[in-house]
Amino acid sequence: MTFTEDEIAFRDSIRRMVARHVAPIAAEIDETDRFPTELVRLFGEMGLMQLWVPEKYGGPEGNLTMMCIAREEVSRVSPACGSIAGLNTMFIMPLLHFGTEEQRQRFLPVVAQGGVVTAIAISEPQAGSDVSAMTTRAVRDGDSYVINGRKQWCSYGVEAEYIVLMARTEGERGADGISAFVIEPKRMKGITFGRHERKMGWRGAPNTPIFLDNVRVPAENLIGEEGKGFRASLRALDLNRPTIGAQCVGLAQGALDACVEYAKERRQFKRAIADFQGVQFMLADMAMNIEAARALVYECARAGDRSDWQRLNVLASMAKCFASDMAMKATTDAVQVFGGYGYTKDYPVERWMRDAKLAQIFEGTNQIQRVVIARDLLAA
């Protein structure tokens, strides 16, 4: 992958920061499942959390390529911490593409200051891959909407100042009738949170159910047209999926680097295991697949930077699906290279394997991504 001089300088600055601030705490965050607030402050100061806020609103005005670079580099040691880079993207995108100028002037300068946690709430207990089955409802009442329902798998929602929330404003089923709202969980009455999900991996990135009981939201917090929120969520997902692919490339690269170092040091039968062709082939396959995934991720990022929405849609599914499948295979092989030690928590490869599994599921399961790809192929 060829980067510009500015992109290389950006990458190298993040790489230095990761070595100093993220690598020393990555294992502890996985062990304790705590949300690393110190990284929120640091990433905010560096402009990483609010990377996509335009300069006119006080932000760095980054792009999708920079987002992928940031997430790849942090994810080499911790994909959970990698999610904090560009964390506010899913909140920013619906406002930029579908919100009013008044909404952008109201929310984006606050996010641009850094250190503000935001989230997006789409999924529900019975509406995961099938978003059209959403039942959380918003009813117009004068100059407000009253929202009732429940959201599931809202990453960072329990920590968020602002959440873009999808709710049904008309109909009982289907994509039409879903609207997008900005809610403020720390200031609006009727919003409560359930128990933190106890996840196998991606620990330190909280997922907590949200319960909405007669939550009154001002009408000016409606993003775009009523009933068009599903379109806003699709655009946000298309722009975020390649960054998930970048995280998978990062964690797989971290696993490969660890394997190469370990294979040179570990000795069996009076030889380093790196001398055995079986191990060499595993490392070679990991390296080839990582480079292939990286090329696909950044081709997708370039399409996003060109606003090539039609190409982005299918490339986003390809990048997320291929990279996460690759990461699962690479980290499984990494555990094998480490042998019995790979199965212990004394080494990081088992953590990366657990993290890789989630990437095949969230932001749209890989089965759904294949449906999107096939649909595009057969549409001609």
Residue 35's Cβ-count burial label (10 Å; 0-12, 13-18, 19+) is buried
Nearest to 93 by CA among 223, 209, 221: 223
| Strand pairing class (178-183; 222-223) | antiparallel
Nearest to 304 by CA among 369, 225, 240, 246: 240
Which of the residues 72, 159, 161, 363 is marked catalytic? 363
Nearest to 243 by CA among 165, 359, 352, 335: 359
| Strand pairing class (162-168; 178-183) | antiparallel
SS3 sequence of 70-121: HHHHHHCCCHHHHCCCCCCHHHHHHHHHHCCHHHHHHHHHHHHCCCCCEEEE
β-sheet bridge partners, residue 181: 165, 222
- Give catalytic status of residue 124 as yes or no: no
Q: Mind telling me the catalytic residues?
A: 363
